[in-house]
Amino acid sequence: MDVRPLRIYLLRHHEVCGPKGVFYGQMDMPLSPAGRRGSLDAARRVCQLADVEGEPIRAVISSDLGRALFMAERIAERAKANLHSTPLLREVDFGEWTGLTWQEIEEGWPGCLAQRMADLSSYAPPGGENLAQVRERVAEVIAWLSSEFMGMAVAVVAHAGINRVFLAHLAGLDLQRIFSLEQGFGCINVVDLYPDGVPVIRLVNGGSPPGNCFFPGI
């Protein structure tokens, strides 16, 4: 019986061109020059890793936001794999908080940031979404990957918040604890998902220098 897992290489996009400490969310922020170079390097590293493991990347699935799609396109080119982009992998929707700093949010909605941090699963910014809603779209992607690519390897390129929820969902981790999962720019996570639904998380935040992930990534 074939019990080969679905191998998922889960990556975060690289550095964007903009100030730190801003809730970019679903804004289509461009990569910085360093972010473009880092994306090329991440694409090279994940393809080399797949080659070493002996299972080539058969498909690349990406957020449709440009900062993720740039890296996904480079991976697809190197791996000669089909590329699929989807809004289901977009970063968390922060609604009216999108594009604002922590200070600006606190001034406009006093005490609401603390409320959100105390209840990440249920609290949604005005016009945005909570993490239970994010988990629903992540679960939809995982179910599709399992149905289409079991026994193969795929690369998934997304965002810090999405990746944390992705890993937490597979590991059965409470969404309130997702900040235990660091996701630096250009990092690689490796997950094996078996046909019976059992996941084995083999690598988290691989290849990411400490300190390159700033907090409002979710």
- Which CATH number belongs to the domain containing residue 77 in this structure? 3.40.50.1240
Q: In angstroms, rounded to a whole number, what is the distance separating the alpha carbons of residues 15 and 18?
A: 9
Q: Are 69 and 13 in contact (CB under 8 A)?
A: no
pLDDT surpassing 60 at residue 65: yes
What is the per-residue pLDDT across 9-32, written as a single tens digit (0 to 9) for each? 999 999 999 998 999 999 999 999
Q: Is 96 one of the annotated active-site residues of the chain?
A: no
Q: Does 59 map to a domain?
A: yes
| Residue 16: DSSP 8-state | B
pLDDT surpassing 90 at residue 214: no
- pLDDT tier at 149, thresholds 50, 70, 90: very high
13, 14, 159, 169: the catalytic one is: 13
Over range 98-105, report the average pLDDT: 97
Predicted TM-score (pTM) of the model is 0.94
Domain holding 209, by residue range, is 1-37+50-89+151-163+171-218
Q: Does 113 map to a domain?
A: no
Q: Is 55 one of the annotated active-site residues of the chain?
A: no
Tokens at 77, concatenated: 């080119």
- pLDDT tier at 196, thresholds 50, 70, 90: very high
Close Cβ partners of 189 (under 8 Å, ≥ 6 residues apart): 8, 9, 10, 11, 163, 167, 183, 201, 203, 204, 205, 206
3-state secondary structure of 114: helix
Share of the chain above pLDDT 90, in %: 90
What are the strands of the beta sheet with 57-63, ordered from one edge? 82-86, 57-63, 153-158, 6-12, 188-193, 199-206
Q: Does 122 map to a domain?
A: no
Q: Does 178 map to a domain?
A: yes
15, 91, 159, 169: the catalytic one is: 91
